Amino acid sequence: MYPPLIWAAEVNFDPGSVALVLASDNFNEADYIRDYDDYLALMKDLTQKQV
């Protein structure tokens, strides 16, 4: 099962900036897609399965 898939990229931080992230679960690297092409392929696959 996949949660809602949203692609986000945080960019253009000033040097020395700190980003605060709040989440309901602990971070798990395996839960994230790092490559945009992989994300698009997964979205295409999920869309085709819904038809």
- In this predicted structure, the answer to whether residue 51 has a pLDDT above a threshold of 70 is no
Look at residues 35, 42, 45, 37 and name the one whose alpha carbon lies nearest to residue 5: 42
8 Å CB contact between 36 and 8: no
pLDDT of residue 49: 81
pLDDT tens-place string over residues 8-26: 888 899 999 999 989 888 9
- Residue 8 has phi, psi (to 5 degrees) of -140, 145
What percent of the chain has a predicted confidence (pLDDT) above 70? 92
The model carries a pTM of: 0.65
Q: Look over the chain and give the mean of its residue pLDDT values, rounded to a whole number.
A: 87
Separation of alpha carbons 51 and 33, rounded Å: 24
Name the more confident of 50 and 39: 39
